[in-house]
Structure 1
Amino acid sequence: MAQLSLEDAAVEELFNTALTHGLLAITSATIVGHPSTRPGRQPSASKLLRDLVKTFGESEGVCRVPTNERDSPNPFGVFGDDYQPPSEVAINTLLLSEALELADAARHGSGPTGQLTSAHISALEALDAHPALRAIGDAKRDLDWSGGVVADAHETARAAEYLEMLSDEEMERRAEAVSESPIAPAWDDYPELQDCPVCGYASLIPTGGDEMGYGITAGTCFVCSYARSEDAAHELQFSAEIQRLSDKDPD
Structure 2
Amino acid sequence: MRRMIPNRREMNSTPRFLLDALSDSISSGIFIDTKFYVFSRREPTYGRVSSPRALYCNSRILDKVPYFSTLFSGGFSEGQLWDISGGFPTDFDPYVEDYDYLSDSDLEDGPSCLGEDEGGTHGDDGGNPQQRHENAEAMRTHQPVVPNSMLPDPLSEETIADRDDCGTIDDPPRMGKVVVIRDVGALTFEALLFFLYTDDIRFATFSSDPSGELAHERAGDWSTGKLPSPSAKSIYRLADKYNMSTLKERAMTHIRNNLEHCDIVEEVFSSFTSL
Give the structure with higher Rg (CA).
1
TM-score, with length taken from structure 1:
0.28
Q: TM-score, normalised by structure 2?
A: 0.26
Tell me which protein shows more strand as a share of its residues. Answer: 2
Structure with bigger RCO (C-alpha 8 Å, 6+ apart): 2
Larger helix share, 1 or 2: 1
